[in-house]
Amino acid sequence: MLYRLSLLLLAITLPLATRSADRPELNVYTHPSFAAEWGPGPGVKDAFEKQCDCTLNYTVLNSGGDILQRLRLEGTSTPADVVLGLDTATMETALQTGLIGEHKRSLDALALPIEWDDAHFIPYDWGYFAFVYDTQQLPKPPTSFEELISSPDELKIIIQDPRTSTPGLGLLLWMHSVYGDKAPAKWEQLNDKVLATTQSWSDGYFSLFMSGEAPMILSYSTSPAYHMAVDKTDRYQAVQFEEGHYLQVEVAALIESSQQKALARKFLDFMLTPEFQKHIPLKNVMYPAIDLGDDLPGVFDRLITPEHTFFLPPADVAEQRRQLVNDWLDAMTR
């Protein structure tokens, strides 16, 4: 009897084990603010796995810059099938690695403030860089770069490292767009007001800014949406700068050496559906890449709207990036 029962259990468990082993896995490289419990990652994982009969795995790297560095180190042996968390300032550099494959997907659903026809990268959100301030610590923030630079040194700000952080690189491009060749001199003037330069946006925002270490931080014009909708507070706001604001578009791409290209492309298609995009506004706290209509939270109507925007083509960024970073390093270490 025991022998027959053992055979029966074996007959049941073997097909289950086989089905589990056959379940495909999709490996996505991303950053903490996407994969965190409070980010869009968990909801995206649940929704996609219900559609794909697969397992979606996140490899969490500290920043967009770290994602790019990991790809360079691993080369064609990378276990990544998809990278999610690069942006318009880093995508050309990523493309130059030769590791990014063509997506071959329709982009008709996109609703961006710029035209998009790139064959390798698909946007999943967008926003404007801005300084977010604590209204309790700083009731009257500077409203331009010039006013910020000329403010007393007692005013401290938090920024991110452009070598490791996409917002950090975005600030370099923003300053360069405003000041051109005069940007290094402006950085040197701004240096005394920098309390900390963090490796990633998350490090600066949650560990320092939200702890009250400084009243201003480089972030996004959309950041207050989370505080207003979830924290139910107007305490943290973005200041609109007179010079204008720099546009960032965050992107994902498939890896050319992936053994799961069909599944990766299915994920990229899923990325431009309401089931994915509904998680973006209050979990990644950015504008969605498609039109959500009435499903866009009402707090987004209360955000600042830049009167002037800056945007450099990705190829131009790749060409100038090394020099801009070197100029920044020289200015900040004098």
The pLDDT-based confidence of 331 (bands split at 50, 70, 90) is: very high
Q: Do 157 and 217 form a contact (C-beta atoms < 8 A)?
A: yes
pLDDT at 21: 56
* C-alpha span between 49 and 55 (Å, rounded): 6
Does residue 9 carry a pLDDT above 70?
Answer: no
Mean pLDDT (the chain, rounded): 93
Residue 14 confidence (pLDDT) above 70: no
CATH fold of 127-247+303-332:
D-Maltodextrin-Binding Protein; domain 2 (3.40.190)
pLDDT at 126: 99
Q: What percent of the chain has pLDDT over 90?
A: 89
Instruction: Indicate the CATH number of 20-126+248-299 among 3.40.190.10, 3.40.50.261, 2.130.10.30, 3.30.230.70.
Output: 3.40.190.10
What are the CA-CA distances from residue 266 to residues 51, 251, 253, 256 (Å)? 10, 16, 12, 15
Torsion angle of the four alpha carbons 186, 187, 192, 195, in this order, in degrees rounded to the nearest 10: 140
Q: Is the pLDDT of residue 6 over 70?
A: no
pLDDT at 299 over 60: yes
Structure confidence at residue 17 as a pLDDT band (50, 70, 90) = very low
Which has the closest alpha carbon to 131: 112, 114, 149, 154?
Answer: 149
Give per-residue pLDDT as tens, 165-218. Answer: 889 999 999 999 999 999 999 999 999 999 999 998 989 999 999 999 999 999
Kindly indicate the confidence band of residue 22, based on its pLDDT and cuts at 50, 70 and 90.
confident
Q: Tell me which of 2-11, 104-113, 178-187 is least confident.
A: 2-11
Mean of pLDDT values over 267-278 = 98
Is the whole model's pTM more than 0.85, yes or no? Answer: yes
> Would the CATH topology of 20-126+248-299 be identical to that of 127-247+303-332?
yes
- DSSP letter for each residue of 69-123: HHHHHHGGG---SEEEEEETTTHHHHHTTT-BPP-----TTB--SS----SS-EE
Rg of the chain in Å (alpha carbons): 22
**DSSP H or E run through 130:** strand 122-134
Beta bridge partners of 130: 219
Mean pLDDT for 316-331 is 96
Distance in angstroms (rounded) separating the CA atoms of residues 187 and 332: 7
The closest alpha carbon to 159, from 206, 195, 134, belongs to 195
Angstrom distance (rounded) from CA 266 to CA 258:
13
Percent of the chain, pLDDT > 70? Answer: 94
pLDDT tens-digit readout, 116-142: 999 999 999 999 999 999 999 999 999
Give the pLDDT of residue 63.
84
Range 72-77 average pLDDT: 96
- Tell me how far apart the alpha carbons of residues 253 and 93 are, in angstroms, rounded to a whole number: 13
Domain boundaries, the chain: 20-126+248-299, 127-247+303-332
Whether residue 161 has pLDDT greater than 90:
yes
Question: Which residue in 241, 258, 244, 323 sits closest to 78, CA to CA?
Answer: 258
**pLDDT for residue 12 is more than 90:** no
pLDDT of residue 64: 84
| Residues 138 and 268 sit within 8 Å (Cβ to Cβ) | no
Residue 94 has pLDDT above 70, yes or no: yes
- Between 142 and 33, the more confident residue is 142
Contact call for residues 256 and 264 (beta carbons, < 8 A): no
